Structure 1
Amino acid sequence: MSAVPRRIGLLAPLSGILVPLERVPDPVFAQRTVGDGVSIDPTSCDVLAPAAGLVTLLHRAAHALAITTDEGVEVLVHIGVDTVGLNGKGFTARVSQGDRVAAGQPLISFDADLIARSAPSLLTQVLVTNRERISALTVATGLVDAGRSVILDVELAAAPSVDGAPVTEATAVSADIRLPNRQGLHARPAAVVAAAAKAFRADIRLLRGADAANAKSVTSILLLATNPHDAIRVSATGPDAAAAVSALAELLACGSGESQASGESAVPAAGPVPAAVAAPAIPAAPTDPRKLAGVSASPGVALGKVAQVRRTAISVAEQGAGLERERAHLDAALTRARQQISAQQAANSGAASRILDAHLELLADPELIDLAVAGLAGGRSAGFAWREAYSRYAARLEALASALLRERAGDVRDVGGRVLGLLAGVTTAPLEFAPGSILIADELTPSETASLDAGRVLGLCTTGGGPTSHAAILARALGLPAVCGVDRAALELEDGTAVLLDGTGGTLLKNPDETEVAAARAVMGR
């Protein structure tokens, strides 16, 4: 018999007027990326604990703090918008990370006048960040008094049990871990961390300052947008919290599967990432109208004929046929997609196998699946809800500052498109082209690139992507010259047009003359 769900009330940390999250002038909060809850337009300046618990996060700038309640609910209080840039000016912490606090205890004091002059908004967010631990959240409205008014009524999900006995909840937090990864936690180490986290029953979070990521979600880890040497902590709540924190802290400290001591690149490349500006292998006049410029993605030269990669957009109905039926449809498509990727992985090795590992983790990503299921609950079809979910995650990755992480959006769209095709009943056969083809596309997905026949395809040219995209990495693994970011005029070239692809110089030359062909063959024969 499952435990009866419990309820807790979270108190207002500040006096003021409650404001819906949708009105917060920051999409990270307004779109509930960090968590669900409410915002307060404050009339007081002392932040009080919304509940009793453990201070699991106190940002160095003292503008944000998180408490894990005794019931295992993670509550983040974030003072103002874009206040991290104040670097602590105007904030005074009254507690330390690791302290136990009582409900209503002072946590942080702040200078409202100074912050109002320096930040876009004083709106203070109170968020539940581990939404999977709750079954319902009721948000109050109107005026509230700090330490007295209940602003969030939280109904906890039924606690798991073993042999009928409730499982004891525990909370553990690691010390700071400096990331040794040269590119931070990009797709491959993120997949390693997520896979390791899923071995534990505890809810596990990676914390960096005021930001938190679900350690069991590859996309959540990627959106944390970590950098080399970032200080990360592991926080866990659940029956095996201590073991989870110990295991993941050790994994992160050792590079999450990347051998830094041996100089292994954080990008699983089969060769060096080409320089952004490289000397052309085949010199040509810079004003030559036949020449389209891009960026080197994989070195080498190829002579061949254009083969345009064209795809048909997949259409899905918006309205579903009921939650139970649509969920079964989604689960079946996810299972079939896993089978397809596993089969493709068995036929590959090296960089391709590692990238497909990350794709398998994306298919099991709890936050991505939860987002899709939320769409199903709203009456959407499995196809529509899934497309909305993965498109939203891809868009968030594309908005990150790191070029490497932006290009991981291609992996999300690749995996998402595979499942969408299965949901829509669209058969996606491997790309097949005539011998001597040079492929031109808006973008090639990693799975498409991994399935190419290098005996027929001589080179790749895309208008999108970059040299650290997984498609570019696979092109180098296959030994195929590749150019990315080329002028979109390339998409207008007719199939069969003779072209010279200079992967080293990052150019595509249409209709090369005899002299240019001879020069290219001389380079290819070296």
Structure 2
Amino acid sequence: MNRQDHEIVLLAPLTGPVVPIEDVPDPVFAGKLFGDGIGLDPLDSLLVAPCDGTVSHLARTGHAVTLTTAQGAELLLHIGIDTVELKGEGFTPKVSEGERVVAGQPLIEFDADYIARRAHSLVTVVAIANGDAFQIARRGSGPMQAGRTMLLTLVSSGSAVVSHGATDAERSAVAGAATAAAATTTASGASAATASAAAVAISAAASAGTVVTEPALADTTSSTEARADVTLAHKGGLHARPAARAREAARKFASKVELHYGGRHAPLNSIVSLLGLGAGEGARVTVIATGHDAEAALAAVVAELEHEAQSEREELPAGAISPPPPPRANGAPGRPLDPNTLAGVAASSGVGVGTLVRWDDADLTPPELASGTSSAESRMLDKALEAVDQELKSTVHNASQRGAVGEAGIFAVHRVLLEDPALVDAARDLISLGKSAGFAWREAIRTQTAMLGRLDDALLAERAADLRDIEKRVLRALGLSSATRTRTLPDEAVLVADEFTPSDLSDLDTSRVTGLVTARGGATSHAAIIARQLGIPALVAVGDALHAIPDGTTVVVDASAGRLEYAPTTLDIDRARTERARLASVREFNRKSAAQAASTSDGRAIEIAANIATAGDAQIAVDNGADAVGLLRTELLFIHRKQAPTVEEHRDSYQAIVGALQGRTAIIRTLDVGADKEVDYLTLPPEPNPALGLRGIRLAQVRPDLLEDQLRGLLAVQPHGAVRILLPMVTDAGELIRLRARIDELQREVGRTEPVEVGVMIEVPSAALLADQLARYADFLSIGTNDLTQYTLAMDRMQAQLADQADGLHPAVLRLIAATAQGAAKYGRWVGVCGALAGDPVAVPLLIGLGVTELSVDPVSVPGIKARVRKLDYQLCRQRAQDALALESAQAVRAVSREIWPLE
């Protein structure tokens, strides 16, 4: 093979005279800090492809594009100098990222007159981003004709280049860095030290773990395009969590993937761009994959987008899931609110009194202009992003370790947003204009939050709070301080903000904070979830009137009633303090007596157990007086890993929990995941409705090995009587008979003679109606009221519009609970409740009256539920529970229960 076989001929992308790279009116390009190349002074207004290749990156503002040739050369084509400042005005891209182009094909059309009047120069640069791999052998001179005249000839230097077998994320790291680095060029000058933009591009490839290979091995001639239309099934549509999962699915492939919706499109590697599409639940989007493995990439992304994340919230600790929020406190119909009172929505119940402290970071204002060179500011931003990423990584790890899966998921999404190219590129664009790193980052974030705030989708708009959170984190990492975070809080502080971010709440001194109030946000926001976990009364969505209350005002937060009193009388304050003290005293009294057994006043024994997920939870359950563990969720052992746990890992995990329980028994639920949860090694076909598909024990139909390894691990735990097995999503006796027979076989295989107790979760109406048949083969029945309610009423309890209707005290659900207890009694089996209803004080008397003898609740709720049980009369509970079955609504049931058994 001769030398010419390695040559890459680049034709002129524009018509006009050549400008030597040294004469380009920009110090970064002229100094070859980005790489070697050449300039053109355009006489026309159409940029065309100088050779065949793939569009590996297209600048957000349309002023620059990067092409990758079949041999692996990365070519930056940058129209004009400082044209990023035009923010896309005057540029019309004719191609999209991932598209294959041929020499002479139009890439970008531009308004030369408009740009010439506003930009520093129209000189257009063609630069070699990976100049260590390719060198310029010949340069053209004189006038050029677009698509016809030879401009440059490149030859391979023999160095390694980015492999075309690398993942989409790896390749875009180089291409994105190339275009972004070009965007950071500025006439103000730049240091020629290690700030070479070419080095930035290569460093990005290295940090991404990019595969490298010899240039001769690179080949993209087999690139293809695949597309499909998908109906989004996720609750809330394409919000951050499913977008991140789809992005992760695509990163396993080399192909570029884009989503098109409503006349707009977004690359899958940019979460904020995906959110900006505004594609809600049920939206029809088009997925386009381009590359040699396009079909596989398309299938993986489509599978993620079609999954309905039905159980995404299910793994939150029980304490983080509150009952449906009450309606806004508008008083009696036709009557206005009391004077000096604002209404909101409860995010975390309770009463708080204190001094209003405005928590908004209004003083976190970075200087607009850079103090050094653009390259120095870029390095500062890189260091800050890395520091925040490490901080978030640690937060995710710690939250996962303690079983706070919901919190871990929140901050895992923040890590994804932190590296989003739409944000980082936009910030670098501003840095190139002489702005400081802090100012550039803040403006990039605020551009995106403004866009999300305009979307007619409450869930997507709430994600703007997550962007504001990483805005604050990065600004702090850049050395900016906030007076609100450093000042000393009063002993009783009610913190007020337009909206809190998760990081605002993650390090609060909770001993001084008595309440949280926001003008915006919702009860489903990430900050609301964390407020509930912290146990701080919180009120959200109060409105702009909140900002009119002066700092330092004494206020009363009655989150349970949805009220903020901002000019309370002395009597109001005294009453609130008295109520808060009373509630605290009751909690302390209940805690001291929590170790005692719970029986009704007439001697009916009720076991109060705990729902847990980790050994740490087990210790909390013991400390709070739990009689046993009524539900151990084992999903944490399966998710967020690359391969399934072994039998030994199962055994060791359960053995540690049993050891922490100090002789108490544990009911351990077998794996309850399916196509609705992310398990890397669990490849399942896409389902239109995973909540009704392969989940729970049905998963054994396609992956029996997962269940059998778990059962073997459970059977190995010592002592044998410490563990009971609970089977989820059973629908009829046939399923139970088959599984019970297999459990018996496994016991014989390991030589175990003592039988293990096996129970069934009652989560679907068919199981409740066939409870007598199931009880014949099961040792106990445990009712999962969360799923039973939504399957019975066909309402997702996490759907905000249905929250007040998807109530487990609906008479239809109560009748199924009654049927379960009656069926179990036929064979002398006991019935427990492990769903959220078990921890609802209003529901407890009715559940006991229907025949339930075990309630499994969040560990910290054990003392209060035990105290509730001790004040009940079982015979009265039986009578009133039967009466409740004849009522017409959940609201009527709740009203009657409160009247008969008032809450403390």
Which residue, out of 89, 93, 97, partners 1:130?
97
CA contact (8 A) 2:346 2:538 kept: yes
CA contact (8 A) 1:173 1:233 kept: no
Name the CA distance, whole Å, in 2 between partners of 1:296 and 1:172.
49
Distance 1:253-1:521 versus aligned 2 partners, 3 A rule: same
Aligned positions of 1:313-462 closer than 5 A: 313-319=364-370, 321-348=372-399, 349-426=404-481, 433-462=489-518
Residues 408-465 of structure 1, C-alpha deviations (whole Å, 9 max, x = no match):
1111121022212322454796887455432222322221123334444232112233
Residue type matched to 1:357 in 2? Answer: A
Name the CA distance, whole Å, in 2 between partners of 1:208 and 1:494.
45
Which residue, out of 303, 309, 318, partners 1:250?
303
Residues 103-155 of structure 1, C-alpha deviations (whole Å, 9 max, x = no match):
xxxxxxxxxxxxxxxxxxxxx9764342999998452669xxxxxxxxxx997
Distance 1:176-1:7 versus aligned 2 partners, 3 A rule: farther
Aligned position for 1:81: none
Which residue, out of 340, 346, 350, partners 1:300?
350
Aligned positions of 1:267-286 closer than 5 A: 270-271=320-321, 274-275=324-325, 277-278=327-328, 286=336
Aligned position for 2:268: 215
Q: How many residues end up aligned between the 2 structures?
A: 409
Residue type matched to 1:139 in 2? Answer: F
Structure with the higher strand share, 1 or 2: 1
Residue type matched to 1:241 in 2? Answer: A
CA contact (8 A) 1:440 1:461 kept: yes
Aligned position for 1:164: 215
How far the C-alpha of 1:515 sits from its partner, in A, is 4.5
Q: What secondary structure sits across from 1:472 in the alignment?
A: helix
Distance 1:268-1:517 versus aligned 2 partners, 3 A rule: closer
Distance 1:458-1:167 versus aligned 2 partners, 3 A rule: farther
Name the CA distance, whole Å, in 2 between partners of 1:489 and 1:179.
37
Q: What secondary structure sits across from 2:557 in the alignment?
A: strand
| Identity, % of aligned positions | 35
Name the CA distance, whole Å, in 1 between partners of 2:549 and 2:506.
24
Q: What secondary structure sits across from 1:458 in the alignment?
A: strand
Aligned position for 2:280: 227
CA contact (8 A) 1:7 1:154 kept: no
Aligned position for 1:505: 561
Which residue, out of 245, 259, 268, partners 1:192?
245
Name the CA distance, whole Å, in 2 between partners of 1:296 and 1:373.
40
CA contact (8 A) 2:315 2:406 kept: no
CA contact (8 A) 1:75 1:127 kept: no
CA contact (8 A) 2:556 2:573 kept: no
Name the CA distance, whole Å, in 1 between partners of 2:300 and 2:316.
24
CA contact (8 A) 1:282 1:520 kept: no
Distance 1:434-1:196 versus aligned 2 partners, 3 A rule: farther
Residue type matched to 1:130 in 2? Answer: E
Structure with the higher helix share, 1 or 2: 2
Name the CA distance, whole Å, in 2 between partners of 1:267 and 1:177.
29
Distance 1:322-1:128 versus aligned 2 partners, 3 A rule: farther
CA contact (8 A) 2:94 2:107 kept: no
How far the C-alpha of 1:160 sits from its partner, in A, is 4.6
Name the CA distance, whole Å, in 1 between partners of 2:55 and 2:515.
52
How far the C-alpha of 1:286 sits from its partner, in A, is 4.4
Name the CA distance, whole Å, in 2 between partners of 1:214 and 1:268.
34
CA contact (8 A) 1:186 1:222 kept: yes
- Bigger Rg, which one: 2
Residue type matched to 1:163 in 2? Answer: E
Unaligned runs of 5+ in 2: 15-46, 59-90, 114-123, 130-160, 164-212, 587-903
CA contact (8 A) 1:7 1:156 kept: no
TM-score, structure 1 length as denominator?
0.65
Unaligned runs of 5+ in 1: 11-49, 53-68, 77-123, 143-152
Name the CA distance, whole Å, in 2 between partners of 1:473 and 1:395.
23
Aligned residues: CA RMSD = 4.4
Aligned position for 1:176: 229
Q: What secondary structure sits across from 1:439 in the alignment?
A: strand
Residue type matched to 2:359 in 1? Answer: V
Aligned position for 2:172: none
CA contact (8 A) 2:351 2:579 kept: no
CA contact (8 A) 2:342 2:542 kept: yes
CA contact (8 A) 2:499 2:518 kept: yes
Distance 1:508-1:369 versus aligned 2 partners, 3 A rule: same
Residue type matched to 1:468 in 2? Answer: T
Aligned positions of 1:31-110 closer than 5 A: 71-73=53-55
Matched, 1:139 2:110: yes
Q: Which has the higher contact order (CA 8 A, sep 6+)?
A: 1
Name the CA distance, whole Å, in 2 between partners of 1:126 and 1:300.
55
Aligned position for 2:666: none
Aligned position for 2:259: 206
Distance 1:393-1:488 versus aligned 2 partners, 3 A rule: closer
Name the CA distance, whole Å, in 2 between partners of 1:475 and 1:242.
44
Aligned positions of 1:107-118 closer than 5 A: none
Aligned position for 1:40: none
How far the C-alpha of 1:406 sits from its partner, in A, is 1.2
